């Protein structure tokens, strides 16, 4: 592990490319930790997630943008690899960037088109960017 790891590191980008779900941790309304499994897309600079506006997790994120994301896997031989990302959330307004990211979500998760009944993010959804402040990994090749 290195304190200078970055989300853009090739081994981290490759690992994230194999993950369908990560665990998002945030500060709940009572100050206690709150977690949620989340679909995501990633770039070398950030992680992006979508949720339904008004859910407790979204309310928590709007109140306190500090988050952590964790992903881990174990091979059949027992080798463990994973990462954690600590950062802050920023909600994205409608923009070309948001529409391009939505297209990436649809490519990664084809079920979304059926769930949304469209290839456009429904109006009751929010998209947010997690900008990393600290990245740690273990066991990544």
pLDDT in tens, 25-80: 999 989 999 999 999 999 999 999 999 999 999 999 999 999 999 999 998 889 99
CATH class assigned to 10-138: mainly beta
Residue 84 three-state SS:
strand
Q: How far apart are CA 90 and CA 84, in angstroms?
A: 18
How far apart are the C-alpha atoms of 20 and 102, rounded to whole Å?
A: 15
Query: Is pLDDT above 50 for 83?
Result: yes
End-to-end, the C-alpha distance of the chain in Å comes to: 12
> Radius of gyration over alpha carbons of the chain, in Å?
15
**If you average pLDDT over residues 109-123, what whole number do you get?**
93
Q: What confidence score (pLDDT) does residue 1 get?
A: 41
CA distance 46 to 44: 6
CA 72, distance to chain mean position in Å, is: 14
Confidence at residue 2, expressed as pLDDT on a 0 to 100 scale: 44
């Amino acid at each position: 592990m290195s304190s200078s790891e970055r989300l853009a590191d090739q081994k981290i980008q490759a690992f994230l490319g194999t993950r369908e779900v990560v665990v998002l941790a945030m500060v709940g309304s009572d100050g206690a930790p709150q977690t949620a499994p989340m679909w995501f897309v990633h770039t070398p600079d950030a992680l992006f997630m979508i949720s339904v506006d008004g859910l407790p997790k979204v309310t928590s994120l709007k109140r306190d943008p500090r988050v952590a994301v964790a992903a881990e896997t174990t091979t059949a031989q027992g080798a463990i690899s994973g990462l954690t990302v600590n950062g802050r959330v920023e909600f994205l307004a409608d923009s070309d960037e948001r529409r391009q990211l939505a297209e990436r979500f649809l490519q990664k998760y084809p079920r979304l088109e059926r769930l949304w009944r469209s290839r456009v993010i429904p109006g009751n959804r929010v998209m947010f960017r997690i900008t990393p402040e600290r990245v740690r990994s273990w066991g990544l090749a």
